[in-house]
Amino acid sequence: MAIVLGPNRYGKAETRLVRVTRDGDTHGLADLNVSVALSGELSATHLSGDNAGVLPTDTMKNTVYAFAREHGVASPEEFALLLGRHFVQTQPQITHARIGIESFGWERIGPHSFRRAGDFVRTAVVDVSSSGSQVVSGLRDLVVMNTTDSEFHGFPRDRYTTLPETTDRILATSVTASWRHSAGVADVEAVKDALVHAFVTTHSYSLQQTLYAMGKRVITDFPGIAEIRLALPNKHHYLVDLSRFDLENPGEVFMAGDRPYGLIEGTVTRDDAPPALVEWYL
Amino acid sequence: MAIVLGPNRYGKAETRLVRVTRDGDTHGLADLNVSVALSGELSATHLSGDNAGVLPTDTMKNTVYAFAREHGVASPEEFALLLGRHFVQTQPQITHARIGIESFGWERIGPHSFRRAGDFVRTAVVDVSSSGSQVVSGLRDLVVMNTTDSEFHGFPRDRYTTLPETTDRILATSVTASWRHSAGVADVEAVKDALVHAFVTTHSYSLQQTLYAMGKRVITDFPGIAEIRLALPNKHHYLVDLSRFDLENPGEVFMAGDRPYGLIEGTVTRDDAPPALVEWYL
Amino acid sequence: MAIVLGPNRYGKAETRLVRVTRDGDTHGLADLNVSVALSGELSATHLSGDNAGVLPTDTMKNTVYAFAREHGVASPEEFALLLGRHFVQTQPQITHARIGIESFGWERIGPHSFRRAGDFVRTAVVDVSSSGSQVVSGLRDLVVMNTTDSEFHGFPRDRYTTLPETTDRILATSVTASWRHSAGVADVEAVKDALVHAFVTTHSYSLQQTLYAMGKRVITDFPGIAEIRLALPNKHHYLVDLSRFDLENPGEVFMAGDRPYGLIEGTVTRDDAPPALVEWYL
Amino acid sequence: MAIVLGPNRYGKAETRLVRVTRDGDTHGLADLNVSVALSGELSATHLSGDNAGVLPTDTMKNTVYAFAREHGVASPEEFALLLGRHFVQTQPQITHARIGIESFGWERIGPHSFRRAGDFVRTAVVDVSSSGSQVVSGLRDLVVMNTTDSEFHGFPRDRYTTLPETTDRILATSVTASWRHSAGVADVEAVKDALVHAFVTTHSYSLQQTLYAMGKRVITDFPGIAEIRLALPNKHHYLVDLSRFDLENPGEVFMAGDRPYGLIEGTVTRDDAPPALVEWYL
């Protein structure tokens, strides 16, 4: 038996970059959180502490800032591709770069004034290797609620089942979505609108059904999106039993629960989608 | 020497209430986090575990839900007053009630569909006692940024001062504000707009100056507001030194810092404001 | 009517300092989070942006690091006093300094190796002005549980009371405590042990009773402590109703709740304690 | 082109269970956070809202509590196996169950009194399917620091490299580890001690080298562990430049940084390890 080094990577996580563009008095703003992870032939540093192939993570941070100046931030995806290609092309021992970016939205409230928009965070994960690259876009923390048009019944019951069937409940979730492209990069606001529209217009018999409707809508509307993955926590709202106080509660007073929560995860794809890189699944 | 019980209070914190109102197919939504703290003659339970005067905190939670059904939630302030008066009037040993409410905003995206607005959280703190009540409204987590029109110079320098003077920097903060009323309850969206407008239009020589301008604007525009308190963290954005890479950085590439941060706190009032209850200062 | 500036202060919050002491191969470690807030005659910067009296918060950060080198960190309280006196004595416009310190514990696991102890965070708040100083020590995040010896009954019942009386429940809390000294500075580990011992040995009829017992123990054991303030969230553990599954549950299976929670706050003092500075109450 | 449902699963996340065992006056305690995710033939609910195969997540929660009563919690791993097998065996449409458990440590401070140990969280992830099961144990939030015996030099330099080489720096990390077993389940305290010992005794030329040493130690010492995965953030401590204040800083005063941070991830295995289920990689 021998002990061996398995898969490994390293990088600089969460470099916070704010990039201002100045067009006279009118400024633009990109607010990013950039994480870099590189892999390749890195056994020397693991086995003997020989760092000849270990570009410092501090250099990755510097590169993020310098590239922001040299190339600008056209989009999180393009900026990530620039960074990923740079590391793979310039570091001979590096065969793969994963660049993850969170992008925080700001609303304009003046020529050079902005208000942080808290409604969702845009995400991008780009994998670059010598054999090609994969661009995954996404969003998280998009919280939506339907106060009716949600039912849940017809489910199996076992010894431990006490949940009553319902034909009217609150359905609320915090959407995390990521999608991979077969061509181009879809407009993230448009994808968000499609997700929201499907959530709102689906009369739901299960959150799974809503998830599939949301994914299907995106695949239908965006030919360049090959596959979308959704994670939807079921943010439970419990109808409060007010009969103890001689009060009715016709779907009006709810307790918002923290934990536990349902968690529904699924992928929707087109049957002729090109295969994903393995990194899509990690 | 004797050991004595000093000031004390107790209550139920963070009761999460979602109140749906149904007007046919069109629903409304209030999403609150309600905290109750009661004080009065409570020495028996502390000294001997005699609970004859200790209304259970579980009952406070139930009361929040029942009141939401019986009275609705016209506004956080009115709901808090209803609750506070109830406890003071019905519990003989209770002489003071403090009700704190956080109210989370949702944007309408359908007749009975909503999207969580993440741009700020509305707050209310109401104190009720036999001698009167005090209503404090507020907001938190309103994040704003000016990418120019901010300077900082003319400050004293001691042995430990290394900060260069600047005539152009980013000014960003996350606004926490609370204000007490002498008459009525001001519209919170209008107060927020006044705060934002003052932030945007003040050419700033210090965050203190901006704070005072924000407070003055609110006091000027809202005759029913007696006093406003602001806490403004200076969310530092550090200009990155790119000269090491033979690059200029004319106010374009910044590192957003987490810690440490400046913290500027101040109050703006009118000189004929009625005195505050002591709870304003706690 | 005129608009006037009310109480205000400013400073640098959350300067993260790790101070290593080296005695040959054996090292020591202090890990602090230091916040400085200064107040005094600061109207000029608020009213006109004149910063002649505004020592930069960046300088405060530098001072923290320089003082750590020049004076060492004998204890959080002493380090805070050094800082507070420095700012009041050297800045003519500053009449009051509040220094707040969090101190994170590390266990020694080698001559120069340490493991972060997560069992509680030590705190200190020191107020320094020309008229004197006040030292408040404390701790937070000390989580303790008794799985029996806790009862709750004899409480009043109103229309909204549904809680059953109980003679056996879990009592769990996360202790936040702060105490002011009349003489010297008590050993924080000893105070912690006194708090824990009182929690463990008190057969509790209410969390208020436990709170008072904890405070009384500290006041009794530490003559130099004038007053102690405790905030004890009641971390509810709900006995799960397993009768639906034809199972008994004799105090064995509980759901740990997040929100809402009871919150019990109180102060225990000695009747001959010297008066506190007003800052004790803020 | 057709739109199709891809991989999916659903379950109840973060069911908070506290299990008390009573041996007369002496109690024991297990404090778990249990997450269940089931997958199998679930297309009906996605495509048409037919829930005939969708055991409610509420039932999963109930099952956790009922099983804790019926079977006790011998260990997180055994409890997870019980749950996973139950769902796969009793739900015909379910072919795979993943049970994730966080276990929070408590120190005994009395026969039925406990203090929360904050030094690390124990984790377990168990996958059960008809073809077998896989048990992965782990821990997270174990924070360790060496104040010397860490160097970093010999790395490549490109245009963006400014990091000086160092022969003496602080090395600090928060250990996340998970390991899969080929036989039995290793004692988690013993694995933790092995990880800590390797961290302390490795004179480090890179965090990668330390990572490998930690993994190798575990593989060497525990024949039943087939493979271990480690994620080690490099919690940077920056030596403060005090020369600006005419002070030396011989490795004594550091700023603890939040972001960005290095992130080193790697796996150490034995070359005759049995293959992992695919879930090990997800």
Q: Answer for the pair B259, B273: CB distance below 8 angstroms, yes or no.
A: no
pLDDT of residue D118: 85
Of C96, C192, C235, C236, which is the active-site residue?
C236
CB contact under 8 A, B269 and C4: yes
pLDDT digits (tens, 9 = 90+) for A161-196: 999 999 999 999 999 999 999 989 999 999 999 999
In this prediction, residue A281 carries a pLDDT of: 86
Ordered by where they begin, the domains of chain D are 11-45+52-130 (3.10.270.10), 133-282 (3.10.270.10)
Q: What is the predicted pLDDT for the residue at D225? A: 97
Considering only alpha carbons, which residue of chain B is nearest residue C163?
B58
ipTM: 0.97
Beta-carbon separation of A261 and D204 below 8 A: no
Chain B closest CA to D36's CA: distance in Å? 25
Q: Mean pLDDT over residues A30-34, rounded?
A: 98
Which residues in chain D land under pLDDT 50? none
Whether pLDDT at A1 is above 90: no
Question: Is some CB atom of chain D closer than 8 A to the CB atom of C252?
Answer: yes
Q: Between B16, B55, B208, which is nearest C10 by CB? A: B208
Q: Is the pLDDT of residue C282 over 90?
A: no
Contact C147 D113 (CB under 8 A): yes
- Collect all residues of chain A within an 8 Å Cβ-Cβ radius of residue C258: 258-259
Catalytic residue from among A12, A96, A181, A235: A12
The confidence band for B278, taking pLDDT boundaries of 50, 70 and 90, is confident
Interface of C with B in 207-246 (CB under 8 A): 207-209, 211-212, 216, 219-220, 227, 229, 233-234
Instruction: List chain D residues with CB under 8 Å of B255.
Output: none
Q: What confidence score (pLDDT) does residue C220 get? A: 98
The owner of tokens 């002491």 is C21
B149 and chain C in contact, CB less than 8 A: no
Identify the pLDDT of residue D45.
98
pLDDT beyond 90 at A26: yes
Q: Is B262 touching C (CB cutoff 8 A)?
A: yes
Residue C258 has its nearest CB partner, among A160, A245, A259, at A259
Residue with tokens 């140990």: D117
Inter-residue contact C139 to C121 (CB < 8 Å):
yes
For C174, the token pair is: 């996360």
C-alpha distance from B264 to closest chain D C-alpha (Å):
22
pLDDT value at A50 more than 90:
yes
| Residues within 8 A of A (CB atoms), C 177-196 only | none
Query: What is the DSSP pairing of strand D3-13 with strand C261-270?
Result: unpaired
Res A49: pLDDT: 98
Q: What is the pLDDT of residue A118?
A: 85
B90 touches chain C (CB under 8 A): yes
Of the listed ranges A272-281, B136-145, D136-145, the least confidently predicted one is: A272-281
Q: Give buried/exposed letters for D83-113 (b at 16+ CB in 10 A, else e).
A: bbebbbeebebbbbbbbbbbbbbbeebbebb
**Shortest CB distance from C245 goes to which of A160, A258, A259?**
A160
C130 pLDDT tier (thresholds 50, 70, 90): confident
Classify D102 as helix, strand or coil. Answer: strand
Q: Is C96 a catalytic residue?
A: no
* D281 and chain B in contact, CB less than 8 A: no
Stretch A62-83: mean pLDDT:
98
pTM: 0.98
Q: For C18-72, how does the pLDDT look when each residue is reduced to its tens digit (9 = 90+)?
A: 999 999 999 999 999 999 999 999 999 999 999 999 999 999 999 999 999 999 9
Interface contacts (B, C; CB < 8 Å) = 265
Among D104, D86, D169, residue whose Cα is nearest residue D141: D104
Subunits adjacent to chain D (3 or more Cβ pairs under 8 Å): A, B, C
Alpha-carbon distance B66 to B59, whole Å? 10
Using one digit for the tens of pLDDT, what is the confidence trace for C219-242?
999 999 999 999 999 999 999 999
Instruction: Flag whether pLDDT at C189 surpasses 90.
Output: yes
Catalytic residue, from D27, D45, D57, D197: name it: D57
Search chain C and give the residue with CA nearest A256.
C259
Residue range B251-270: mean pLDDT, rounded: 98
pLDDT, one tens digit per residue, over A84-138 is: 999 999 999 999 999 999 999 999 999 999 999 988 999 999 999 988 999 999 9
Q: What is the pLDDT of residue D282?
A: 81
Q: pLDDT at position A130, please?
A: 86
**Mean pLDDT of the region B136-163:** 98
Greater model confidence, A7 or C118:
A7
The beta-carbon neighbor of D66 closest among C148, C242, C257 is: C242
Enumerate the residues of chain D whose CB falls inside 8 A of the CB of residue A5.
Answer: 212, 266-268
**ω into A260 cis (within 30 of 0):** yes
What percentage of residues in chain A have a pLDDT greater than 70? 100
